[in-house]
Amino acid sequence: MKTARTLNRSPLRGLADKALLMWQQQRAWLVSLVLLLGLLVAVPGQGLATASFVLGSVASTAPYLLLSIGLAAYAGATGADNLVARAFTGSPFQMVVLAALAGGLSPFCSCGVIPLIAALLSMGVPLSAVMAFWLASPIMDPSMFVLTAGVLGTEFAIAKTLAALGIGMLGGTATLWLMRMGMLSDPLRDGVGNGGCGGAKVRVARPVVWRFWRESARLEKFWREARKTGMFLLKWLTLAFILESLMLAYVPASWVAGAVGGSGMGSVALATLVGVPAYLNGYAALPLVSGLMGQGMGPGAGMAFLVAGGVTSLPAAVAVFALVKRQVFALYVGLSLGGAFLAGMLFELWRLA
């Protein structure tokens, strides 16, 4: 029998749950609104300048934004993400290469890829192939390539794509070598599930329907995915452009240039470490890196920041820690940070050549 205290607390708990859900879904918009209103009240001139900067930045990236939305919606409507399962067949080294390629094309972020990883490992797919996919997937996908080219340039987008494939292949090969030495035989923690509904893409592979518009259900899914992706990108890019405007206005360019400028190993290493806690998500990070590079951040440091944050952002690291055993987690973090540092240094050398 429920007590009076329990009955009185239930509505409050329900309101708290709804408030928490609203915050999780709309936090980017809410933070953007608070920042803009705070600026307009406290520093009206900067508030107007920031609003103008955001509108101009969104307008300038609109063509890339629309193309990115279209690619993401097309992948969802056609079921192209079901092609992921085909990468995990064949010889161990072949699986590493194909998994890295699939990771570079798949539209999964560092957190969204976790259910697939759980499913693959529970199905007995070798950790080497899973690691290759795991490392490459959050760094790049077709829609990310388009937006990266629009914000940071085509050269940067191509280099980031090569970094994703290279880190995936190197990480998968290193893991394969360790496995052949008798290590990492049982990567999952005890009691971890099989990836839930997120693993259905690899457990039950479905055919891809490239001409999706012939089916009303798929056409409806295309527009639904387009709206969902469009709102997601717009809210995070808006927040990122606000932060970029404030950074350009209040963060001294000399400080940025001194900390992560130039072409030294120190700046790339620092950007690699800072990228993990400072990373918002792949799309929101682009304007921030653009602003930092405009103030003196080296291109190699910018690459290291994006790659390290993309693979090893704090939310993703927490999820990975709960999924796999400690030695696998340590390998994942080491490969991520080492690969990010290497990608940053190689891009820096390329730009200096």
Q: Between the CA atoms of 240, 244, 247 and 248, what dihedral angle is there, to the nearest 10 degrees?
A: -170
Q: Between the CA atoms of 284, 285, 289 and 291, what dihedral angle is there, to the nearest 10 degrees?
A: 20
Per-residue confidence (pLDDT) for residue 25, from 0 to 100: 67
Give the distance from CA 157 to its chain's centroid: 14
Per-residue confidence (pLDDT) for residue 245, from 0 to 100: 86
Per-residue confidence (pLDDT) for residue 340, from 0 to 100: 92
SS (H, E, C) the chain: CCCHHHHHHHHHHHHHHHHHHHHHHHHHHHHHHHHHHHHHHHCHHHHHHHHHHHHHHHHHHHHHHHHHHHHHHHHHHHCHHHHHHHHHCCCHHHHHHHHHHHHHHCCCCCCCCHHHHHHHHHCCCCHHHHHHHHHHCCCCCHHHHHHHHHHHCHHHHHHHHHHHHHHHHHHHHHHHHHHHCCCCCCCECCCCCCCHHHHHHHHCCCCCCCCHHHCHHHHHHHHHHHHHHHHHHHHHHHHHHHHHHHHHHHCCHHHHHHHHECCCHHHHHHHHHHHHHHCCCHHHHHHHHHHHHHCCECHHHHHHHHHHHHHHCHHHHHHHHHHECHHHHHHHHHHHHHHHHHHHHHHHHHHHC
Per-residue confidence (pLDDT) for residue 171, from 0 to 100: 93
Per-residue confidence (pLDDT) for residue 320, from 0 to 100: 76
- What lies within 8 Å, CB to CB, of 1 at 6+ separation is none
pLDDT in tens, the chain (353 residues): 455 555 455 666 666 666 666 666 677 788 889 999 999 999 999 999 999 999 998 888 888 888 888 887 887 888 776 666 666 777 888 889 988 888 887 766 655 666 677 777 777 788 888 889 888 888 888 888 988 998 899 999 999 999 999 999 999 999 999 988 888 777 877 765 555 545 555 555 567 788 889 999 999 999 998 898 888 878 888 887 888 788 778 877 677 666 666 667 888 888 888 777 666 566 778 888 888 888 888 889 999 988 888 777 666 676 677 778 889 889 988 999 999 999 999 999 898 87
Per-residue confidence (pLDDT) for residue 88, from 0 to 100: 73
Per-residue confidence (pLDDT) for residue 189, from 0 to 100: 75
Could you tell me which of 335, 334, 269 has the C-alpha nearest to residue 305?
A: 269
Per-residue confidence (pLDDT) for residue 122, from 0 to 100: 72
User: Which two tokens mark 264?
Assistant: 């030294």
**Interatomic CA distance for residues 74 and 224, integer angstroms:** 11
**Interatomic CA distance for residues 246 and 240, integer angstroms:** 10
Predicted TM-score (pTM) of this structure: 0.76
Per-residue confidence (pLDDT) for residue 193, from 0 to 100: 54
Amino acid at 126: P
